[in-house]
């Protein structure tokens, strides 16, 4: 962070604030250290206003969304996050992972609320999920419509066969 802040001629706290607002997203090492690409930093150098910074965020930030139904599945959540992160890295995306624990029928999960806020405020350009049902169990079309209205693509890594409403409900109940 120190080198990136020096390169940008801003303070470390400014860099952290930009990250919190989603204006720049570092890659994280295994030790959770931030790493920035020269391109990211150069993009930031050419910008003078918050409005322009927001345009960079909208143009490039990808959100990887990962969800499991219960806290007993935390290991699966970590595997899912790893799959999504690896996929985003291979695609060359500037990305951030949002993790959630809760039912796919619960729309008040903290991570999902944050994701929708980012979509509506123009804070991302794409959502990547491992499976369609990891985003929401029911109501995917509504989320898809909101994303379309805000020019946000949804990319599903692993497509599965569509099953009927009744079969999906039975799986959820079980």
pLDDT tens track, the chain, 174 positions: 888 888 888 888 888 888 888 788 888 888 888 888 887 887 777 654 344 444 444 456 899 999 988 888 889 999 999 999 999 888 888 888 999 988 777 778 888 899 888 888 888 889 999 888 888 877 888 889 998 988 899 999 986 655 555 665 666 666
In the residue annotation, 103 being an active-site residue is answered as no
| Domain that residue 151 falls in | 59-160
Instruction: Tell me, yes or no, whether 104 lies in a domain.
Output: yes
95-to-105, 113, 139 alpha-carbon distances in Å: 26, 18, 25
User: Residue 135 belongs to a domain with what CATH number?
Assistant: 3.40.50.1390
The CATH number for 14's domain is 1.10.1660.10
Cut 0.75: pTM above it: no
Asked whether residue 127 is assigned to any structural domain, the reply reads: yes
Query: Is residue 135 assigned to a domain?
Result: yes
> Does a structural domain hold residue 23?
yes
In a shared domain, residues 76 and 111 = yes
Cα dist from 98 to 13, 67, 80, 156, whole Å: 22, 8, 11, 15
How many domains does the chain divide into?
2
**Do 74 and 126 fall within a single domain?**
yes
Catalytic residue from among 11, 13, 69, 103: 69
Rounded to whole angstroms, how far apart are CA atoms 70 and 153?
Answer: 27
| pLDDT digit string, tens, across residues 35-50 | 888 878 877 776 543 4
In a domain, 167, yes or no: no
pLDDT of residue 165: 53
Quick: pLDDT tens for 118-133: 888 888 889 999 888 8
**Quick check: is 173 in a domain?**
no
Q: Would you state the structure tokens that stand for residue 24, as one six-digit string? A: 């720049």
């Amino acid at each position: 962070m120190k080198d990136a802040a020096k390169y940008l001629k801003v303070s470390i706290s400014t860099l952290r604030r930009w990250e919190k607002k989603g204006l720049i997203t570092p890659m994280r090492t295994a030790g959770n250290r931030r790493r920035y690409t020269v391109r990211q930093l150069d993009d930031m150098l050419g910008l003078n206003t918050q409005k322009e910074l927001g345009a960079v965020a909208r143009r490039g930030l990808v959100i990887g969304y990962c969800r499991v139904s219960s806290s007993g599945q935390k290991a699966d959540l970590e595997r899912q996050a790893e799959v999504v992160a690896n996929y985003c890295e291979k695609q060359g995306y500037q990305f951030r992972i949002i993790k959630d624990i809760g039912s796919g029928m619960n729309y008040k999960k903290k991570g999902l609320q944050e994701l929708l806020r980012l979509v509506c405020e123009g804070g991302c350009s794409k959502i990547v999920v491992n499976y369609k049902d990891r985003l929401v169990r029911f109501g995917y079309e509504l989320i898809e419509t909101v994303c379309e209205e805000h020019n946000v693509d949804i990319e599903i890594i692993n497509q599965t066969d569509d099953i009927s409403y009744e079969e999906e409900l039975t799986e959820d109940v079980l």
